[in-house]
Amino acid sequence: MAFNYEQYLRPGKLPHIWCPGCGHGIVLKGLLRAMDACHLDKDRTAVVSGIGCASRLPGYVDFNTLHTAHGRAAAFATGIKLARPEMTVLVVGGDGDGVAIGGNHFIHACRRNIDMTYVLCNNYIYGMTGGQFSPCTPMGDKASTTPYGNPDPTFDIAKLAIGAGATFVARTTAFHATQIDKLIAEGIRHKGMSVIEVLDDCPTAFGRRNKFRSVVEMMKRFKETAVPAATAAKMSAEELQGKIVTGILHREERPEYCEQYQQVIDRARGA
C-alpha cells in the first residue's frame, strides 16, 4: 500500500526545491519511513541541518527542525541533546557541510559518542554553490574548481567516523532505497553517535561534469558497485577497488555523552 508520507510532511511544501532526480528526495523519503518505523513523536524529535541542498531537508518535515550555519549542525544538535536528553536528535547534511567546513564538529560529536543520528548525504560535491569539489570528490573526477581532475585524496567518511569514535556506522546509496530506512532506523535505536552515510546523486553539479548521461546512469553505477559488508569481508583490497561497501560497518557499546555529563552535574551538586 502507498506509504503515507504526507502525515510527516509540512503541508504545502511540495514540489521540493531539489533538481530532477536529485537523491536528496530519496533520502528524505527513507528518513520519514525510518522515523515512522521508530514511532518518533513529532514533539520529542528534532531534525537539525547546516547549509547546502541536503541541508534543506528539515524544511519539509513536520517535526521540530533547526536550519543552522554551514558546517555547524552537529554543534547545534549537541546543544539540543544536552539541554533535552529525552529528545531524539537527527542531523542531516551534505559532504561539504559535514566533513569539509563541519569536519571538526563532526569528529568531536563522534568522539563524545553523543546520542544522535547523523545522516550524511555524500554526493561527492558542493551542489548548492555550483559544483566545487569537496573532500569526498573522487580523485581524478571533475568539479567546477577541478576542471582538469581532482588531485586530492578522498575522505572515507565511515572510516573517519569510526576512527573518531562513532559507535554505529553504516553506509548505503540512493539506489538502495529500502536499506536507507532500515539503517537510519537502526541508527535511531542505537544509543550513542550513529553515522549513516548515503552515497547520493547530484546529477546537476556532479553527474553532468563526470560523463553520466542521466540520473538513471548514476543509479545504475550505485547498483553495480555496491558490495554488502559480509561479502566485502571475503574480498581482497584489489577486488574492492572502486566498490562501495554497504550495510552496518561498525557497532560497539560505549558510555554515552549525556549520561556521562549528568554524572558531572550530580557530582557538582554533591549528590
Partner 1 sequence: MSSPRLEIIERYCKGCSICVEFCPTHVLEMDGFLATVVRPEACIGCMQCELRCPDFAIKVYKE
Ligand X SMILES: Cc1ncc(C[n+]2csc(CCOP(=O)(O)OP(=O)(O)O)c2C)c(N)n1
- Closer residue to partner 1 (CB): 158 or 215: 215
Identify which of 250, 197, 195, 187 has the alpha carbon closest to the alpha carbon of residue 74: 195
**70 binds, options partner 1, ligand SF4, ligand X, none, Cβ within 5 to 8 A by partner type:** ligand X
Q: Is 257 in the site for ligand SF4 (CB under 6 A)?
A: no
Selected range binding ligand X among 120-128, 152-160, 237-245, 251-259, rule: CB under 6 A:
120-128
Nearest 10 degrees: CA dihedral of 212, 216, 219, 224? -80
Q: Is 18 in the site for ligand SF4 (CB under 6 A)?
A: yes
CB distance 247 to 228 below 8 Å: yes
- Closer residue to ligand SF4 (CB): 115 or 201: 201
Burial (CB count within 10 angstroms: exposed 0-12, middle 13-18, buried 19+), residue 172: buried
* Residue 202 one-letter amino acid: C
**Least distance (Å) between residue 8 CB and partner 1:** 11
Selected range binding partner 1 among 75-83, 110-118, 189-197, 210-218, rule: CB under 8 A:
210-218
In the DSSP assignment, the letter for residue 34 is: H
The one among 24, 112, 142, 221 contacting partner 1 by CB under 8 A: 24
- Closer residue to partner 1 (CB): 104 or 214: 214
Q: Is 1 in the site for partner 1 (CB under 8 A)?
A: yes
Q: 3-state SS string over 150-201?
A: CCCCCCCHHHHHHHHCCCEEEEEECCCHHHHHHHHHHHHHCCCEEEEEEECC
Give the span between the Cα atoms of 142 and 134, in whole angstroms: 11
- Closer residue to partner 1 (CB): 122 or 167: 122
- Closer residue to partner 1 (CB): 19 or 80: 19
The one among 54, 77, 143, 226 contacting ligand X by CB under 6 A: 54
Q: Output the residue with the shortest Cβ distance to ligand SF4.
A: 127
The helix-helix angle for 177-189 and 24-37 (nearest 10°) equals 50
Radius of gyration of the chain (CA): 18
User: Would you tell me which residues interact with partner 1 (CB under 8 A)?
Assistant: 1-3, 5, 9, 14-16, 18-26, 29, 177-178, 214-216, 219
User: Would you tell me which residues interact with ligand X (CB under 6 A)?
Assistant: 51-54, 70, 93-97, 123, 125-129, 134, 202
